[in-house]
A and B are shown apart, each in its own frame.
Chain A
């Protein structure tokens, strides 16, 4: 027996074991669940870690050419499911898992729960646009609810201080991951709302795995954000991370630094806005005064104020017209009277006995009685009568008389 012994080198043994393993179909394609520990990313791009559970552990290597397609960075404590083949690293005599594929464990359930909660809150209207509160344009104090040790708080403070070093900041420190995170975050939001001095709240944290961001997917946090009187900007993780807190918040900032930019305007733009208002105030007043003075000019150039005498022209005209009218009336009146007078005069003329006598008639009067003789009946023989002519009279004796019967009608 001793004579037949064959002595191998270690390498030969390891190579032999390796060849047995490589021939075993079971070991060629295995799915294994476990938790990552001792994770190391080598500068070559290869990943080395140990997969463990409560009972055992196994060495793993994840070569760069397989690892490049990962959509997350593996970290210690992360639960994963891997697929690969078992082989031996002959130099160390160490068997290990050569990983070809890795996925997050439990993520499926996590996402399902997330979707269910999202659906429920959406139906309740927690995400609806009508509940979004506008951000004040000129906040005096910003509350930051996040971890006071993380990079997020630094980023926000840096951005705000740079943009507007007159805006106050109150950091309300909370755990942003782990068991207490959801209680602390919601309590901090409620506390901030008891104060009167905070104009905007920024709630968030820096990037991390979905488990690390999980507090921002909790219903309790969502309800605290929804109930906040103070407008809330969410700032959770990176651009690509979308949590329920982001959906409920009044404004979602892709990163903590951009939350600072959204919350606070550059002080130079505030100065500009103020100058713009000053200009408008001056312009509008200048315009108003110019307008009023133009109006005043227009008024003083108006017809009546410029030619006040024309105000009376109409009255003068009326007066002239009236005067003229009264004159005409007067003339008419006078000429009417005058015509009548002339007619009367000529009528009187006609009655004047002298004028009758001028035409050759004469008047005979009784000398004794002095009365006018109208009829031969008043005459008798030897009666003395006087004959009146226009230029004198004569006394006569009646010698005879004779009545003309034809003329009887004439006497009255």
Chain B
């Protein structure tokens, strides 16, 4: 029953968190007869935390634009992709 509910929220990525949030809402909205008040409140609390986590993820995310190159040793390396370095 507790799909993913044991997982620490801070370790979830945005997509996992929003997917679990949707699942929780579906469970709360679906008149699941086996859901006790205590369980509903637990789900609700986790839903709130997941929602906050998603918002934080959106706000804190810093975009990285990299390009994969081979360095002098022939190893793959990611460096920032600066568009002005490459003309059309």
Q: A-side interface residues toward B, CB under 8 Å?
A: 136-140, 148-151, 153-154, 157, 161, 165-173, 267, 270-271, 273-274, 277-278, 280-281, 284-285, 288, 292
A283 to chain B, nearest CB (A): 9
Known interface pairs A137-B15, A170-B68; A154-B88 also in contact (CB < 8 Å): yes
A197 to chain B, nearest CB (A): 10
Whether B65 is near chain A, meaning CB under 8 Å from some CB there, is yes
Alpha-carbon distance between A31 and B24 when the two chains are bound, in angstroms: 73
Inside 8 A of A170's CB, which chain B residues have their CB? Answer: 66-68, 78
Inside 8 A of A277's CB, which chain B residues have their CB? Answer: 18, 21-22, 25, 51
Could you list 8 A-B pairs, sorted by A, with CB under 8 Å? A138-B14, A148-B67, A149-B88, A153-B86, A166-B57, A166-B63, A172-B67, A284-B28
A267 touches B25 (CB 8 A): no
A172 touches B15 (CB 8 A): no
Partner of B66, one of A150, A171, A292: A171
B35 to chain A, nearest CB (A): 9
B65 touches A169 (CB 8 A): yes
6 closest residue pairs by CB, A with B: A166-B61, A171-B67, A284-B28, A138-B15, A169-B65, A168-B64
Alpha-carbon distance between A170 and B69 when the two chains are bound, in angstroms: 11
A281 touches B64 (CB 8 A): no
B window 70-88: CB within 8 A of A: 78, 81, 83, 86-88
B40 to chain A, nearest CB (A): 6
B40 touches A280 (CB 8 A): no
Supplied contacts A166-B58, A278-B51, 5 more A-B pairs, CB within 8 Å: A154-B83, A161-B63, A173-B67, A281-B25, A281-B44
Known interface pairs A169-B81, A274-B51, A277-B51; A151-B88 also in contact (CB < 8 Å): yes
Inside 8 A of B87's CB, which chain A residues have their CB? Answer: 149
- Give the size of the chain B interface in residues (CB under 8 angstroms): 36
A234 to chain B, nearest CB (A): 20
| Smallest CB gap from B29: residue in A | A284
The interface bits of chain B over 26-68 (1 if a CB of A lies within 8 angstroms of the residue's CB, else 0) are 0011000000010011001001100100110110011111111
Alpha-carbon distance between A270 and B14 when the two chains are bound, in angstroms: 11
| Smallest CB gap from B37: residue in A | A292
Inside 8 A of A161's CB, which chain B residues have their CB? Answer: 63, 65
B18 touches A157 (CB 8 A): no
B88 to chain A, nearest CB (A): 6
A169 touches B68 (CB 8 A): no
Alpha-carbon distance between A354 and B75 when the two chains are bound, in angstroms: 149
B28 touches A281 (CB 8 A): yes
Whether B13 is near chain A, meaning CB under 8 Å from some CB there, is yes
Known interface pairs A277-B18, A278-B51; A157-B65 also in contact (CB < 8 Å): yes
B39 to chain A, nearest CB (A): 11
Partner of B81, one of A136, A157, A166, A292: A157
Partner of B63, one of A165, A171, A270, A274: A165
B23 to chain A, nearest CB (A): 11
A169 touches B54 (CB 8 A): no
Alpha-carbon distance between A278 and B21 when the two chains are bound, in angstroms: 9
Known interface pairs A168-B64, A169-B63; A285-B44 also in contact (CB < 8 Å): yes
A271 touches B58 (CB 8 A): yes
A284 touches B54 (CB 8 A): no
B28 touches A168 (CB 8 A): no
B28 touches A285 (CB 8 A): yes
| Smallest CB gap from A273: residue in B | B18
Partner of B18, one of A171, A172, A274: A274
Alpha-carbon distance between A172 and B68 when the two chains are bound, in angstroms: 5
Alpha-carbon distance between A281 and B20 when the two chains are bound, in angstroms: 12
Partner of A149, one of B15, B18, B54, B86: B86
| Smallest CB gap from A188: residue in B | B68
| Smallest CB gap from A267: residue in B | B58
Known interface pairs A281-B28, A281-B44; A274-B83 also in contact (CB < 8 Å): no
Alpha-carbon distance between A23 and B5 when the two chains are bound, in angstroms: 91
Alpha-carbon distance between A161 and B62 when the two chains are bound, in angstroms: 11
Alpha-carbon distance between A168 and B68 when the two chains are bound, in angstroms: 13
A157 touches B51 (CB 8 A): no
A280 touches B15 (CB 8 A): no
Inside 8 A of B44's CB, which chain A residues have their CB? Answer: 281, 285
Partner of A285, one of B22, B40, B65, B68: B40
Inside 8 A of B57's CB, which chain A residues have their CB? Answer: 166
Inside 8 A of B81's CB, which chain A residues have their CB? Answer: 148, 157, 169, 171
Inside 8 A of A285's CB, which chain B residues have their CB? Answer: 28, 40-41, 44
Alpha-carbon distance between A292 and B81 when the two chains are bound, in angstroms: 57
